[in-house]
Amino acid sequence: MSVGAGEFTALLFLSFGGPDGPADVRPFLENVTRGRGVPPERLEEVVEHYMHFDGVSPINRLNLDMIAALRGELRTRGANLPIYFGNRNWTPYVTDAVTALRADGHRRALVFPTSAWGGYSGCRQYHEDLAGALAELGAPVSSDLLLRKLPQYWDRPGFTAAAAAAVRRAQTELGEGTPARLVFTAHSIPLAADRTAGPPEAGGQLYSTQVTAASAAVAAALGIDDFDVVWQSRSGPPQVPWLEPDVCDHLEALADQGVGRVIVCPIGFISDHLEVVWDLDTEARETAERLGMAYARADTVGTDPAFIAMIADLIEEYVDGAESSALGCGDNGTLCRPGCCELPPRPQRR
């Protein structure tokens, strides 16, 4: 693969961002929740979660690890695409990454989002990040720049195979015995948000349908028929309905049914960031211990070579500049195509 004129010449690795120290935690959370109706009590809880890790989210380091692995993979394939790193909610910000790639002379960059999914939070908000950065930089930059977001990748074999391999390692960790119940988890979202992304005739539900389908693909790869799909890290005011059941409530229900061993697979995330190391490795694990259940948490796909190869494959597919109507693709933060991710519900009043 070689990159010539008219083709994409750079990659923007676009992520969520996370704090790098205690002083960052509150301003980071303000960035995440601005105008989104998250109650102050919930925010104080989340501050505590980050403080258990001295205010440092693992997400930035994990993203840099993935970027390093991807650089290696691209080099092996003879692709000299430089990679820029930018985030929605914390430094390095997406605007700075776009400024940097443009200053280095790039005019066309592909964008890899660290979310595999459709839906407002998983897809459309990343488009908004690109549009916001271009608006901030203004016409001199934006009129001469093409940022093309790569499609959703929840159904790519490189993603599901890497997740299946991680579940296999968790099975080994649990050792011999009754097969463990396989429980997939992803970030909960408001039911209203789930309904407003996806084909209206299917009631929207793009995100929850994709999470369920990816879980089924991983289970199928493992030859497992019985599995559950549950949700985690719920936010927002308690009276607003979100996707349920919550992973911890689900462990209680499984214990009531006599299930004694469980593997939790965080299919909803691609790295072991705070939502994984707190909500699953601390809260869910403690719940399982209290219930007397054997518990193992599967790794996220992270730097698994199959997953990194999937990212490189996506880049190879798109680097020549062919137009695409795949779900999640879009230029310069333009809206998702019909049937993808519609407008979010209005922010809730406190």
Cα Rg for the chain, rounded, in angstroms? Answer: 20
Q: Which helix (H) or strand (E) holds 119?
A: none
The whole-angstrom separation of Cα 206 and Cα 36 is: 21
Q: Is 336 in the site for Fe ion (CB under 5 A)?
A: yes
Q: Which helix (H) or strand (E) holds 44?
A: helix 40-51
Q: Closer to ligand HT9 by CB, 339 or 345: give it.
A: 345
Which own/partner pairs from 67-73 qualify as long-range (CB within 8 Å, at least 24 positions apart)? 67/13, 69/303, 69/305, 69/308, 70/11, 70/13, 70/308, 70/311, 70/312, 72/308, 73/305, 73/308, 73/309, 73/311, 73/312
For 269, phi and psi rounded to 5 degrees? -130, 155
Q: Is 34 in the site for ligand HT9 (CB under 6 A)?
A: no
Q: Closer to Fe ion by CB, 19 or 190: give it.
A: 190
In angstroms, what is the minimal distance from the CB of 267 to ligand HT9?
11
Window 229 to 258, contacts with ligand HT9 (CB under 6 A): 233, 235-236
Among 10, 12, 14, 16, binds ligand HT9 (CB under 6 A): 16
Q: Is 280 in the site for ligand HT9 (CB under 6 A)?
A: no
Residues forming the annotated binding site for Fe(2+)? 187, 275
Q: Closer to ligand HT9 by CB, 145 or 154: give it.
A: 154
Among 32, 166, 288, 315, binds ligand HT9 (CB under 6 A): 32
In angstroms, what is the minimal distance from the CB of 118 to Fe ion?
5
Q: Closer to Fe ion by CB, 302 or 328: give it.
A: 328
Q: Is 340 in the site for Fe ion (CB under 5 A)?
A: yes
Strand partners, 200: none
Place of tokens 């699953």: 280
Among 110, 189, 288, 327, binds ligand HT9 (CB under 6 A): 189
Give residues with Cβ within 8 angstroms of 107, minimum separation 6.
9, 144, 145, 146
Listed ranges 109-117, 142-150, 160-168, 295-303: which one lies at the site for ligand HT9 (CB under 6 A):
109-117
Q: How many Cβ atoms are within 10 Å of 79's Cβ, its own excluded?
A: 17
Q: Is 168 helix (H, G, I), strand (E, B) or coil?
A: helix
In angstroms, what is the minimal distance from the CB of 11 to Fe ion?
19
Selection from Fe ion, ligand HT9, none that 263 binds (CB < 5 to 8 A by kind) is none
Name the site residues for Fe ion (rule: CB under 5 A).
Answer: 123-124, 328, 336, 340-341
